[in-house]
Amino acid sequence: MGFAGKIKALLFVAADLAALYAALFLTLIIRYGNDFSFQFRTEHAFPFTAVFVLWVLVFYIAGLYDIRRLANNLDFVKTLFLCIGINAALAVTLFYLIPAFGIAPKTNLLLFVVIFAVIEIPWRRALNRAMASGEAPNRMLLIGDGPIAAEIKDAVAKNPQLGYRIKAEMDDQAAYAAPQSVKAIAARERVNLIVISGHLKQEPKLVAVLYELFGSGILVTDMTDLYELIMRKVPLALIQETWFLENIAGEVRFYDSLKRAAEFVGAVAVGLALLPVEIAIAILVAITSRGPVIYRQVRVGEKGRHFTLYKFRTMRVDAEKDGAQWASKHDRRTTAIGGVLRASHLDELPQLWNIIRGDISFVGPRPERPEFVAQLEARIPYYEARLFIKPGLTGWAQIHHRADQTDADVAEKLQYDLYYLKNRSPILDLAIVLKTIKSVFVNPE
């Protein structure tokens, strides 16, 4: 997300907080009349503020601050209603489990939720429309053709809230043949952003024109960079080996080593906290199908090192009698309890032991089996780049694309893995963990 996108996201957070406090004030006025100010200061301010922080966090996990998703469609309305319902349940739980709050509202809480829903739904829809309307701050001239340019055009057209409008286009041949026409188009369409295919930078006359336009205040950017910003993945078709040399920074590698201690402590803490759940799952697996409770499988980790990955078994013991194969969505080899475990990702809890051992991280590319790695490296360009860093229990690719079923799926997920490889940071890791939680509790597959 660019700087403008972050500002928009913060505006939505501020708008939600305003709606929350407005709903609370209206609730107290209805319930206590002129005494509402005293009630707010003495009993309701602190506990409701704590609850509001949690509500905003749930909105974030559900993607309600993701600018790319802020369109007034059915998915947005369903997500908003679901979040309000989940937050209402969380508020009830918190008020009755935390005595320090000093209140356990029933009528007030119910009234507050209803008033908030009445305020929030039209309020957020109006903000969505406002973000998508008016003059876009980025008026673009797109120079280039091919599937990547087509993806950018499609994404910009479907997501006006991102702040981009394509005012004019030129294909490669036109840019080569008449570089000076770029200047005329830029002036006529009042563009302030020119997006260009990387290979066109090798044309001296075109570069000279772009340099002149850049000096006049027009931003010139590479199509690869814009694609990454909008799509949040790296286009395989537009990168070469030099991309890795230029974009995989040493300070990011420093972060890789820094997070190891935090992951060890976190894996131990989560493993102990969920121990009753793990025991219950182990019993269910043992009594519902024949075979070991824990399934062991060799995977490929950082720098190509092989390790044993642990999972709760979700398939029959003879699932691979005909050789290694990817799991499908409605795989007949799955056991009765296995389908539930796979859908909820609870089958992956034993991988906390892999994190403790240092085989994997909480966040990183999905570790693949050696049989598949050898094949995919031969068919998918730069597939081996996934092995530059430690694999993860979850990852940027896992939360954005379905499980691998074809080479096209692998290539698509690799683009997300490359984005993570370049941009990994504590903030991105936290966002991935929160979105993973969403996939389990808010929108399970």
> Does some domain include residue 240?
no
> Does some domain include residue 398?
yes
With contact defined as beta carbons under 8 Å apart, do 181 and 256 qualify? no
Residues 324, 403: Cα–Cα separation, whole Å: 16
pLDDT tens digits for range 66-103: 776 677 766 677 788 888 888 888 888 888 777 666 66
> Does some domain include residue 244?
no
Q: Are residues 402 and 267 in the same domain?
A: yes
Residues 373, 298: Cα–Cα separation, whole Å: 12
Q: Are residues 77 and 91 in the same domain?
A: yes
> Does some domain include residue 239?
no
Q: Are residues 143 and 270 in the same domain?
A: no
- Cα pseudo-dihedral 158, 160, 164, 170, rounded to 10: 40
Q: Are residues 148 and 88 in the same domain?
A: no
Identity at 71, one-letter amino acid code: A
pLDDT confidence of 108, banded at 50, 70, 90?
confident
Q: Are residues 72 and 171 in the same domain?
A: no
> Does some domain include residue 293?
yes
Q: Are residues 264 and 318 in the same domain?
A: yes
> Does some domain include residue 245?
no
Q: Are residues 11 and 54 in the same domain?
A: yes
pLDDT tens digits for range 276-285: 999 999 999 9
Average pLDDT of the chain to the nearest whole number: 85
Domain limits for position 152: 138-231
**Residue where one domain finishes, among candidates 202, 231, 260:** 231
Mean pLDDT across the stretch 102-129?
85
Closest to 394 measured CA to CA, from 427, 353, 345: 345
pLDDT tens digits for range 293-338: 999 999 999 999 999 999 999 887 766 666 656 565 566 678 888 8
334 pairs with which residues across the strands? 315
Domain count, the chain: 3
CATH of the domain at 170: 3.40.50.2300
Please, which residues have CB within 8 angstroms of residue 110's CB and are 6 or more apart in sequence? none
**Residue where one domain finishes, among candidates 117, 132, 147:** 132
Residues 280, 274: Cα–Cα separation, whole Å: 10
Return the axis-axis angle of helices 370-379 and 407-423, rounded to nearest 10°. 90
pLDDT confidence of 349, banded at 50, 70, 90?
very high
At which residue do the structure tokens 């504590």 appear? 426
pLDDT tens digits for range 428-439: 888 888 778 776
> Does some domain include residue 238?
no
What percentage of the chain carries pLDDT values higher than 90? 42
pLDDT tens digits for range 40-64: 888 888 888 988 999 998 888 888 8
Res 406: pLDDT? 84
Q: Are residues 213 and 353 in the same domain?
A: no
Q: Are residues 273 and 224 in the same domain?
A: no
At which residue do the structure tokens 């280039």 appear? 144
> Does some domain include residue 241?
no
Q: Are residues 96 and 147 in the same domain?
A: no
Q: Are residues 14 and 121 in the same domain?
A: yes
Q: Are residues 412 and 342 in the same domain?
A: yes
**Residue where one domain finishes, among candidates 132, 152, 168:** 132
